[in-house]
């Protein structure tokens, strides 16, 4: 597996990334990766501090004569999204991520790679170990649980940092720096499980919607990729009344911040209606392949009559109808584009997960917006769908947006350094995703912030990959910024 990074530069960064890939680090399980961070700090005789929730800061004093230079904070998150393909055998609690090189890309084998945010963390570790570069005071902030609600940043101790110049290493586009991000909020809807006996003679079939790309529910939401829950439900809503079909189970999606790639259901129906349902499956499979031929060409809708566990009860007529109508009416996708920044999604919502949770059917959604009032509006719209269905509705905790500051002194410095290095200024952007900068900026008054990183594609999905050539550029940009501040 180390063959994948053989000969890659910067060597220290890639070696740390390889080591990080050996360590289980799903959200809320960051203990081992935190221990690795601390071991590197101790090995390099650097002081470190943990807050009550488990965020870690490592402090590296300025080089001789540069101790009074402005302090810089490099920030990344320790956790990763743990997603795998259905046919991939992988236990994220203990198995290492298998790295593979494919031309100019590093990727994993049927799982998420963890370059989000493993590359940023590896860069910070490489900086911690660097003995050659002259620099002012440096701090390295490693937060936990970013991927499941930014809770590490939300609960960060407000005395953890000294510097007021923060570089977030969690963006995914070479040649761009980010100066703003969306805020977010989750809405969860619960329907009470109401089951009844299966009529005599009814037979179970399984219908699956798969082959979708999925992706990040903020970064990829504007691309119009298929949502497995919405597409499966669209078929069921139209087809089941025509074959006297009744749901017995439904599952789709797995993460609040990932567009669902797969969904499946078990349906009971009269045996003499199965042939008709098969015809409709074939018809909708063709429809979806046509509609999504450019963005999700591998989409598939399939029906099987065996090879699955058959439930002993099915949904009541009321639960069946309420669920199908609810999944149809809950919005998904882009709601509004920004009038201020061309091409920026301003507001969106993601129908993320559906499945049984104890004695209820749970539907998880997440909303994003760079405008606080619009975030509240789309969040309330989703809640209203739940209320209309007579469901129990929970409003999850949110996080603030990061308001762009085009006059930022750190931004002006970054433009100058980037132009000197690469012959042009970076593209200045805001991102339709929840970066920790918004929260950190709220907690630490006067914090000047930027976010940037190498090119990462397919984040939050097993297609995740990082572009090798852009990692070297990213590293040189980081080093040059440090030298410029210390000059």
pLDDT digits (tens, 9 = 90+) for 343-393: 999 999 999 999 999 999 999 999 999 888 999 999 999 999 999 999 999
In the chain, residues under CATH classification 3.40.630.10 are 2-181+401-486
Percent of the chain with pLDDT over 90: 91
For residue 94, pLDDT beyond 80: yes
Residue 247 — φ and ψ, nearest 5°?
-65, 145
pLDDT tens-digit series, residues 258-310: 999 999 999 999 999 999 999 999 999 999 999 999 999 999 999 999 999 99
What is the pLDDT at residue 332? 98
Where do the H-state alpha helices sit in 145-300?
151-154, 228-243, 274-291
How many whole angstroms separate alpha carbon 169 and alpha carbon 474?
Answer: 9
Q: How many CA atoms lie within 13 A of 33 on its CB side?
A: 36
Q: Which residues carry out catalysis? A: 79, 146
In tens, the pLDDT along 405-419 reads 889 999 999 999 999
**What's residue 1's pLDDT?**
61
- Looking at the chain, the whole-number percentage of residues with pLDDT higher than 70 is 100
Distance CA 370, CA 182 (A): 4
- pLDDT recorded at residue 223: 97
Q: Residue 57 above 80 pLDDT?
A: yes
- By C-alpha distance, which of 73, 56, 287 is closest to 167? 73
Q: What is the pLDDT of residue 442?
A: 86
Beta strands 56-60 and 138-143 are antiparallel
Report the SS3 class of residue 437. Answer: helix
Average pLDDT for residues 98-111, to the nearest whole number?
98
pTM of the model: 0.73
Beta strands in 374-464 (DSSP E): 392-395, 427-431, 448-451, 456-457
Please state, rounded to an integer, the average pLDDT across all residues of the chain.
96
pLDDT in tens, 187-241: 999 999 999 999 999 999 999 999 999 999 998 999 999 999 999 999 999 999 9
**Core vs surface per residue 82-103: b (16+ CB within 10 A) or e:** bbbeeeeebebeeeebbbeeee
Residue 371: phi and psi, rounded to 5, are: -120, 120
pLDDT in tens, 423-472: 999 999 998 988 899 999 989 999 999 999 999 999 988 999 999 999 99
Q: What is the DSSP letter of 254?
A: -
Architecture of domain 2-181+401-486 in CATH? Answer: 3-Layer(aba) Sandwich (3.40)
Closest by Cα among 402, 398, 405 to 436? 402
pLDDT at site 341: 80
Residue 159: exposure state from Cβ atoms within 10 A (0-12, 13-18, ≥19): exposed
Neighbouring C-alpha atoms within 13 Å toward the C-beta of 308: 19
Query: What is the spatial distance between Cα 275 and Cα 279, in angstroms, rounded to a whole number?
Result: 6
| C-alpha torsion sign, points 267, 303, 324, 147 | positive
Looking at the predicted structure, is the pLDDT value of residue 136 above 80?
A: yes
Report the helix count and the strand count for the chain, using DSSP H and E: 11, 23
The residues of the chain that CATH labels 3.30.70.360 are 185-395
pLDDT > 90? residue 142: yes
Q: Which fold has domain 185-395?
A: Alpha-Beta Plaits (3.30.70)
């Amino acid at each position: 597996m180390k063959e994948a990074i053989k000969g890659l530069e910067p060597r220290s960064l890639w070696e740390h990334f390889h080591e990080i890939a050996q360590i289980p680090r799903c959200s809320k399980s960051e203990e081992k990766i935190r221990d690795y961070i601390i071991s590197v700090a101790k090995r390099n005789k650097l002081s470190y501090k943990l807050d009550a929730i488990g965020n870690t800061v490592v402090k590296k004093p300025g080089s001789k004569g540069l101790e009074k230079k402005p302090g810089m904070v490099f920030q990344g998150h320790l956790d990763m999204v743990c997603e795998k393909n259905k046919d991939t055998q992988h236990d994220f609690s203990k198995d290492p991520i298998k790295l593979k090189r494919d031309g100019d890309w590093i990727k994993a084998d049927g799982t998420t790679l963890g370059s989000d945010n493993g590359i940023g963390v590896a860069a910070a570790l490489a900086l911690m170990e660097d003995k050659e570069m002259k620099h002012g005071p440096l701090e390295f902030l490693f937060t936990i649980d970013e991927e499941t609600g930014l809770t590490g940043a939300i609960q960060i101790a407000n005395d953890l940092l000294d510097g007021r110049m923060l570089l977030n290493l969690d963006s995914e586009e070479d040649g761009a720096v980010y100066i703003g991000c969306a805020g977010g909020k989750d809405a969860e809807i619960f329907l009470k499980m109401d089951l009844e006996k299966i009529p005599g003679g009814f037979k179970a079939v399984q219908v699956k919607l798969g082959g979708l790309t999925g992706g990040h529910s903020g970064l990829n939401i504007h691309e119009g990729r298929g949502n497995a829950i919405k597409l499966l439900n669209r078929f069921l809503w139209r087809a089941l009344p025509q074959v006297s079909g009744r749901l017995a189970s439904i599952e789709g999606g797995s993460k609040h911040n990932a567009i669902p790639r797969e969904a499946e259901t078990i349906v009971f129906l009269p045996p003499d209606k199965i042939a008709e349902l098969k015809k409709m499956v074939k018809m909708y499979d063709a429809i979806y392949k046509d509609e999504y031929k450019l963005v999700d060409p591998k989409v598939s809708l399939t029906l099987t009559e065996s090879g699955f566990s058959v439930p002993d009860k099915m949904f009541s007529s009321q639960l069946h109808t309420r669920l199908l109508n609810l999944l149809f009416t809950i919005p998904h996708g882009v709601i509004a584009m920004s009038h201020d920044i061309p091409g920026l999604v301003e507001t969106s919502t993601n129908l993320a997960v559906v499945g049984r949770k104890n004695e209820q059917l749970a539907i998880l959604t997440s909303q994003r917006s760079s405008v606080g009032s619009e975030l509240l509006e789309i969040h309330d719209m989703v809640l209203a769908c739940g209320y209309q269905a007579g469901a129990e509705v929970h409003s999850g905790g949110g996080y603030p947006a990061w308001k762009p500051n085009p006059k930022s002194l750190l931004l002006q410095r970054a433009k100058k350094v980037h132009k000197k290095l690469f012959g042009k200024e970076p593209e200045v952007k805001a991102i339709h995703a929840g970066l920790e900068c918004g929260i950190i900026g709220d907690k630490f008054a006067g914090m000047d912030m930027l976010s940037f990183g190498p090119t990462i594609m397919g984040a939050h999905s097993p297609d995740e990959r990082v572009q090798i050539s852009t990692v070297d550029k990213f590293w040189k940009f980081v080093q040059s910024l440090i030298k410029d501040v210390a000059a």
